[in-house]
Amino acid sequence: MLFCKSLFAILAIVPASFTFASPLTVRQGTPASSGKGEIVKFTNEFPSTWQPGQTVNLSWQGGSGDYALYEIYYAPNQGSSRPGYLLTNTTETSTTVALYSTVSPGETLTFGVAEAGNSGIYDLSDTIPFCEC
């Protein structure tokens, strides 16, 4: 089983289209501190559920000012995750993201923001379930 810190380290070295075969346990991250006492954390509210094609406004702060933004889709019936970069090596502190338009039943989504070049300094959203409404 992969853990969040391992996932961020792996994302730094694998293509965004890579799929993991192991299930992932993703939970709310505790914003991690850089050596300077600065943390990276999301500042926006997350939806309680998501729908295909929905847009989500993300914002974050802290860290050194260079960021990598991730999304992690998890489909339990397939036993795989689809992690991917949304932004890499950026100084932006906000963006709007369009979510996948096709999903599997029971699929969940988690967002992560990390200090670029330091996978140990990151924050994760809560896991957001797909709404089959």
CATH code, domain with 28: 2.60.40
Residue 69 domain boundaries: 4-129
DSSP assignment of 32-54: PB-TTS-BEEE-SPPPSSB-TT-
Length of the chain: 133
pLDDT tens for the chain, 133 residues long, are 344 444 444 444 333 333 333 333 333 444 554 455 478 999 999 999 988 889 999 999 998 899 999 999 898 877 778 888 999 999 999 999 998 877 777 889 999 999 988 768 899 999 999 987 7
Beta bridge partners of 67: 90, 115
State the pTM of this model: 0.71
Looking at the structure of the chain, the number of domains it has is 1
